[in-house]
Amino acid sequence: MVLQSKRIGRFFMIGVYDYTVIATYLSLLLGLGGLYSAAQNEPLDAMLCLMLAGLLDAFDGRIARTKKDRTEQEKRFGIQIDSLNDVVCFGVLPGVIGASLGGGEWWLRASVLFYILAALIRLAYFNVTEEERQSATNEHRHYYLGVPVTAASFVMPLFWALPLRLGSALAVIYAVGLTLLAFLFIAPLRIPKPGLKGILCMILLGAAELYLMLYGAMPL
């Protein structure tokens, strides 16, 4: 069975356009906006886009599962579009932000390239295992193998905000954060999938990071 085109107003368009994927599409637009901001040497705006994209990603799966009559094609489309969104928002965007912080130092370039490569490997592995899991069971996933790339949305803002607040070398600290997180992406660690309480804790952490970013230049 082929995923059918959808009629929107007077037009037919391929793809899925119901409420189950709106959060993912909005997250992708934020990721693209963040890339543009980083290219314009506006890392604060880029980091805010990263955090907001992570917030939307935290709820897109829950939103999609509210539709009980999704076809197998719609489910698979959801997996693929979510993964492609993750590539842009949590794979490429944090790396581009890092590249915008330095003057072309080799160690910064190396950390950026390693981070993006590890994120792509992690996402490809997740795609394969998730399709296998969904074809075998309807149960929800209870854990991840390797840290999800979406963790970048609340981990990397911390490595960006603390140096601003403490007066440390921003590019060096950020490169360390990229490298550590890249190793965690591909490490065979069983990470419990966060529930609603876990998501709320991450939102609170994001609020604290936002404070550090906005007032990082102020004296202690």
Instruction: Write the CATH number for 164.
Output: 1.20.120
In tens, the pLDDT along 122-181 reads 999 988 887 777 677 767 677 888 899 999 999 999 998 888 766 568 889 999 999 999
Q: Report d(CA 118, CA 183) in Å as an integer.
A: 7
Please state the domain count of the chain. Answer: 1
Give me the residues of the chain with pLDDT under 70, please.
1-12, 134, 138, 140, 165-168, 216-220
* Residue 87 structural domain: 6-214
Q: Which helix (H) or strand (E) holds 123?
A: helix 106-136
Measured CA angle at 116 (ends 166, 134), to 5 deg: 115
User: Has residue 135 been placed in a domain?
Assistant: yes
Q: Report d(CA 150, CA 123) in Å as an integer.
A: 10
* Cβ-count burial 70-86 (b if 16+ within 10 Å, e if not): beeebbbbbbebbbebb
Q: Report d(CA 129, CA 126) in Å as an integer.
A: 5
User: Has residue 220 been placed in a domain?
Assistant: no
Tokens 């590890």 locate to 118
